[in-house]
Structure formats: C-alpha cells, structure tokens
Structure 1
C-alpha cells in the first residue's frame, strides 16, 4: 500500500516533480516545458511513498468549474502493477470530497482508459492529442 501525502515541503515537491520528469519527460518524451506548466504554482500536489519511504508516485489536483481535476498521475515504471495508481487516485478523490466537490475529471492517456474505468470513471469525449499522446476525457461522480 502507498502512503500518499499532500505536498507540504520543498523536498516533497521536488520528489513529486522528479517522478513526473522521469515518467513524462524521459519515458514518454513530453517536452519539459509542457510537463511543468503554469498550473503547478497553484495546484495541490501529491507524492506517494512505499513502506520503505521511497517516493514512487506523484500527481496534482486542480479545481476547474464544478470538478476536481486529477492531473499528472505518474507511477515509476518499476512500481507499476502494485496498486499505487489506484491509491493515489483514491487519496485525491478524498481531498476533492473534503473541499465540497462531488465530481472528478481527468484526461486519460488512451492506453490507461480501462484502468480508470475500473475505478468508476466514464469516458465523455472523443480521442484527442495532448503532448503528442492520444487522450480521452473521463468523469466520475464521487
């Protein structure tokens, strides 16, 4: 199980950003300038730690219209398949509910669409390209 924490310190933020750089910039070839954008200054960031306190997952959350918007969900390649993506999403959904919101939204890379469906998300858009990667928009009532 992942220990998901809302980022409060510079060290935690650096750890979250390092995970995003590895997954999106290095692994998926997203340009650094697209990955680290103007929304980072105002978003709520999360970092997930293993039982050994190793940072292995990261994400950010913004509130857009009536939605809590889950963004930049990343798990290091060697830790995928351990349920850590689910753990960080559930933690983000708890924060969304705690802020009085009842809907969540995300733009999923199409290869991960089934993963999000298992967590209760429904596809509400056609496929579109973002950072050169096919995505769909998905929503969930919390």
Structure 2
C-alpha cells in the first residue's frame, strides 16, 4: 500500500484514477478558485499531466490535495489545500509528510515551493526556509521556500 491513514482517519493517496483526480481538483477549486479567487485557467495549467497528484480523504470525503512535479533538479510542491472546515487539525502536515516521502522515494534532494505568505509559518514549522523577496502569483503574495530532503 502506498498510502496510510493517520490516527485521525485521514487517508492521503497518490492519485491513480480519474475519480481520485476529480476529487483532488474539487478540493483545489473550492480553495483556490472559489475561496481565493484564482482564475480557473490559472488553477488548471499545463503541468497537470506531468505532476504527481495527491488527494486526502476523511471518511471517504475529499478534504485535501496537493501536487508534486519536477522543477529543474528539484521537486516542486504546489496546490496544497485543505477545505476550510477541516483546517487546524494537522491534515496539511500529514499531506506534506506524504508528498515529501514520495519526493524522497523518487530521489529528489530538495523540495521547492511557492508558499502563500500567510501560510509561510506552516512551512517554517516543517523545516522549509524562505528564499528571496515576496512576489505575487495569481494576485496573492507568495514567498519561495526550500527544504533539503
């Protein structure tokens, strides 16, 4: 089994079916498009087919998502999302653990991510370091962060 449920019952999976991908996209749309106002055509981009996608289920309901893709010599984590009613319960950390495990298994030495600035503390707590100045993506302030695996 490539996935496991944590003690809260969260089941983080690498997406293998169309249904799982649709579930991951539904979470991303709810968070990034509906909640944060990112345009749909920016949310689903040219990297979808190349990325490894993740979806997190709680009692068979999709509540979280992320994707991982090659970025030069590094792995890049993107689209990390947890639905609003399920935030603050450690699910984001569990998703990141799973993503980092997959990146390490694929022999990436480093993960890069563009964190929304307001979420940078979440990544600080996970051992990511900020690189450079704040910038905007999709109208939202971000900061680049890196972690050696």
TM-score, length basis structure 1: 0.97
For the residues of structure 2 that align with 1:125 and 1:89, how far apart are their CA atoms?
Answer: 22
For the residues of structure 1 that align with 2:65 and 2:108, how far apart are their CA atoms?
Answer: 21
Match of residue 85 from structure 1: 92
Match of residue 26 from structure 2: 18
For the residues of structure 1 that align with 2:60 and 2:77, how far apart are their CA atoms?
Answer: 23
Match of residue 128 from structure 1: 135
Q: Deviations over 1:29-83 (max 9, x none)?
A: 0000001101011110000011x12110001100111211100001000000011
List gaps (5 residues or longer) in structure 1. Answer: none
For the residues of structure 1 that align with 2:138 and 2:71, how far apart are their CA atoms?
Answer: 20
For the residues of structure 2 that align with 1:125 and 1:58, how far apart are their CA atoms?
Answer: 26
Please state how far the C-alpha of 1:86 moved relative to its aligned partner.
0.6
**Higher share of residues assigned helix:** 1
Match of 1:47 among 32, 35, 55: 55
Q: Deviations over 1:12-41 (max 9, x none)?
A: 000000100000000000000001101011
Match of residue 29 from structure 1: 37
1:61 and 2:68 correspond: yes
Number of residue-to-residue matches in the alignment? 141
**Higher share of residues assigned strand:** 2
Question: Runs ≥4 in structure 1, deviation > 6 angstroms?
Answer: none
RMSD of aligned Cα (Å)? 0.7
TM-score, length basis structure 2: 0.93
List gaps (5 residues or longer) in structure 2. Answer: 1-7
Match of 1:4 among 12, 31, 50: 12
